[in-house]
Structures are given as C-alpha cells and as structure tokens.
A and B are shown apart, each in its own frame.
Chain A
C-alpha cells in the first residue's frame, strides 16, 4: 500500500519531465521538417518573412527575432529599475501595513490577463503615445514595451524581494554596528549580497517578456520589416505564430516553419531559464 502510493507520487513528479521533453520533441519533429524546404541560412539571417507571397515565399525570421529583442530590451529598461527599487522598498523600508497592501496588489497585477492589457493599450495608451509624440499611430514598439513591462513587473519584484529578504541579518547588523546608516547598508551590503538573486529575477522577467503574446499581438503594430527605432511597429515571434497559425494547412511548409519559430522561442526561453537557475543556486549557496 505505502509503496504503491509512493510510486504514484513519483510518477506524477516524473510526468513533468515527460511534459518538457514532449514539448521539445514535438516542436523539433515538426519544426525541423521545415528545413527540408527552407535553407537554414535564409531562415536565420534573412530579414524577409513573407510565407504567403504569390511570387516566391521567403522565410527569414531575423526581423521577427529583432522585434522580440526590441520589446525585451525596452520593457526591461522600464521594468528592472522600477521592479528592483520596489523590491528593496518591500523588503527593507516598507512598514508591515504597507507590505500587506502592496504584496497582494502585485500578485493581482500578475493575475491580470494580458489580453486585457492589450485592450487598454489599443484604446488608451496607443492614442496617448501617438498624441504625445505626434505620430500617425501609437501601435509601435514603445507602446507594447510599456505594457509588457507591466507584465514582467510582478516576476521581477517577487524574486528580487525573496533574494533581498534571504540576506542574513548578521550582514546588516555588522554594517549598522560600524556606524553605517540604513541606506548605506542597503546600498553597500544588502544589495551586493542579493545580487545573484536579483540577476535571476531579471532573467526570469526576460523569459516572461520574450514569451508574451497578446500585448505584442494587439499593440506592437504588426510590421514585418526590420525596426530602426523606438517608434517603429514590430512583430515579435510570438505574434507571428498567433497571427499565422490559423491560416496554415496542417503539414504544409508554412505550418512547419511556424513550429520552427516556436522551437527557436522555446530554446531562447530555456536558455534564459537555465541562466536564472544558475544565479538562483548561487544566491542559495550564499546563505
């Protein structure tokens, strides 16, 4: 009886490994078939993605990858300083009452569906951005990045806060006993000691940003050209899959190419998560 139950739990645990491998294998099986028709060189280095062209379809994902990176960089520029500062505030400065209000509020932001943020982008933020900067359309990389930053914020705040809270009290006690004030202690003792955890938080935030679909689908402007600036419309990889997957024939080259894009996305997030994992372990080792 006891053994059976132990095996049952073990089986459920192992099913998570099967799921990850399953996702990878299916993406790879279908995605790699695309390269029977598309040269890998074109796929990775051409900036021209036009699978439905009547003349000659082209399969370069470089503009899409750059679109993803644009959104990732801009949104982290917004979310990292705000998120880390907010984590420091929560972990070190805020009163217990403030903490009990703020922490659930941040959890609520995490629960906010991205499609709702996309809608607000469409109706409120894009017209506002267009107005402020005198643009014809506010559907561009900047607008999408601001909204995606909001999606990344809860991840960055909660992981950084954990890291800062996990710094042993003896560290700050020693610093305070030497006559440093609270800010000097935070700046020179606590934040450096929590740095690995904060880096991990940024990495996990990056993973979240790269995989975000609805906001970029609705407000990034949906242009397949290589962007040259903040105000250019972009079309990240996730949005491309979401737009085109309903129009393809199963088993077609286009279908396979979209799975190849999914595979690239999967490998990118996997790499980011591995990096985050390494930094998190380093943080735990510090304790």
Chain B
C-alpha cells in the first residue's frame, strides 16, 4: 500500500480512539444525568433520609457524611503526603532508604482499595477501638490517598527550577529557609490542586467503607468524629443492590448524580486552577 495512504489510515484510526475515550466520558455523564435528574429536588438534597418511604426523604446526611470523610482524609493524608514529597525531592539523596520509600509509594498506590479496608478494619476499628466511625473510615481512606498526594506534590516540586534553591543557599540561607522561602511558595498551588484531586477520588471510594462499616440509616447527623456516618457512595450502593423499594434504583441514580457532581466539580476546579497557574508561571 502507498505509505502515505497507510499513514492516513492509521492516523484516522488513532484519532478515533481519542474520540472514543472522550465519548465514553460524555456518554457516562449523559446517562447519569438522564437517570438521576428526575429525583433531584431541594427536598432530596436538604432533608433527612426517610427509610420507610424513600420518596419523602433526602440524602442530606449522606452528603454531610461524605463531606466529613473528605475533611478527615484531608487532615490525615495531605500533611503526611506533602511532607513526604518534600523529603524525597528536597532532602533525600540517593540512598537505599529513598529507594525503599519510592518502592513503598508505588506499592501503596497499587494496593486494592478493599485490602485497605481489611487493614482499616483490624487496625482502626478493632485494635484502636474506633468502631465504625468517621475517624476510622477517614484513616483507612487516607492510607490510599497518601500515595496520590505524594506523587502530585513531587511533580509540583520538580517544576521549581534548581536555580531558585541555589540562589537562596548561595546567600547563606539554610536548607529549610531555602525550601520555605524559595521552593514551597512556587510549588504550593500544584501541591494543593493535586491533593484536592486525590481527595475527590477518596470521597468516591466505596469498597473500603463497606469493610470498615458505613451506615445506611441513622437518626440525626454525626456529632463527633467518633460517631457512625452515612456516605454517598455507600448509600447509592445499598439503594442500587439491596433496597426493595420500587423506586430505589431511581434514587440510587439521583445519589450517583450528586456524588459525581461533587467529585467532578472539585476535580474540575482543581484542574482549572492548576492550568491557570501553569500558564502564568514566568520562569
């Protein structure tokens, strides 16, 4: 075959695969909106869950629970993840310890979420006796979020030119002064946006909180980190698979729409901010 024609053919095929990937996302969004929009109302978003007749209640406690989980995960995973990234990128040389830390991070990122759940169940729920609480679930989800925070924070630190550090050090700054004054301010936006994307993913996780134990129905809202909680992904899972109400699947789809809207708006805002910062950067 004519090489030029062959190139045309293959390039068209590849362009098509790009469109397919994009199309998958759009198709998923259309379906979720289509299936879920019908049950969305002010009442659905702001009232307590009515287990007896699900059509009269709302998912407010599940929204609040997911929000609390997000706060908990941010509290436990973001500081550790950022500190670890700073260590790896700014302090560590090339030693065995560093190689082991990197290997550990790679493996943590690959551990199945349900395995994190098993770990959380034995360590946080049983050994530390935190029970099926917000704090136990947050700690469990934090384990899987930490590698994501580390990876994106390291990427942000790598974009800061070496000359920034050298300049500070040459003027007599200590290592920490150089990092604090000349590196962190320029990496902060990247670290924060990366962490938000990681948090959004953690808030959509279901398997670990099935194992650690979320609640499908509770009176009132949780009033301390040690209280049990409802969560959007778990709520939607139970509605979709175990609830007998004839409308349950429609309400599952409505819950899915709220969850996806929450996660996508967080991810989208973070990506947009990151994009703007990258464009504005003038070094």
Q: Which residues of A contact B (CB under 8 A)?
A: 1-2, 5-6, 8-10, 12-17, 19-20, 22-23, 26-27, 30, 82, 85-86, 88-90, 93-94, 98, 101-102, 104-120, 122-124, 150, 153, 157, 181-184, 187, 204, 207-208, 210-214, 217-218, 238, 241-242, 245-246, 250, 258-259, 262, 265-266, 269-270, 272-273, 276-277
Contact = CB atoms under 8 A, between A and B. Distances in A.
A6 B88 CA distance: 11
Given A115-B204, A270-B107, A182 B91 contact: no
A17 B95 CA distance: 14
Nearest to A117: B28
B160 interface: no
B112 interface: yes
B80 A15 contact: yes
Contacts of B111: 20, 23, 211, 266, 269
Interface in B106-120: 106-119
A248 B21 CA distance: 41
Given A115-B233, A242-B211, A123 B253 contact: yes
Interface in B82-102: 83-84, 86-88, 90-92, 97-98, 100-101
Contacts of B18: 86, 89-90, 94, 98, 102
A82 B112 CA distance: 23
Nearest to B198: A111
A6 B175 contact: yes
B110 A270 contact: yes
B11 interface: yes
B30 to A, nearest CB: 11
B224 interface: no
A266 B115 contact: yes
Given A105-B22, A110-B201, A182 B7 contact: yes
Interface of B: 3-4, 6-7, 10-11, 13-15, 17-18, 20-22, 24-25, 28, 31-32, 35, 79-80, 83-84, 86-88, 90-92, 97-98, 100-101, 103-119, 121-123, 126, 143, 146-147, 150, 174-176, 197, 200-201, 204-207, 210-211, 213, 233, 236-237, 240-241, 249, 252-253, 256, 259-260, 263-264, 267-268, 271
Contact of A242 (B25, B84, B103, B114): B114
A88 B14 CA distance: 7
Nearest to B22: A105
Contacts of A269: 107, 110-112, 115
B89 to A, nearest CB: 10
A10 B24 contact: no
B28 A246 contact: no
Nearest to A21: B104
Contact of A108 (B105, B126, B175, B264): B264
A245 B210 CA distance: 9
A2 B175 contact: yes
Contacts of A184: 3, 7
Contacts of A12: 79-80, 83-84, 87
Contacts of B11: 93, 182-183
B4 to A, nearest CB: 7
A23 B204 contact: no
Contacts of B32: 116, 120
Contacts of A27: 115, 118-119
Nearest to B98: A13
B223 to A, nearest CB: 25
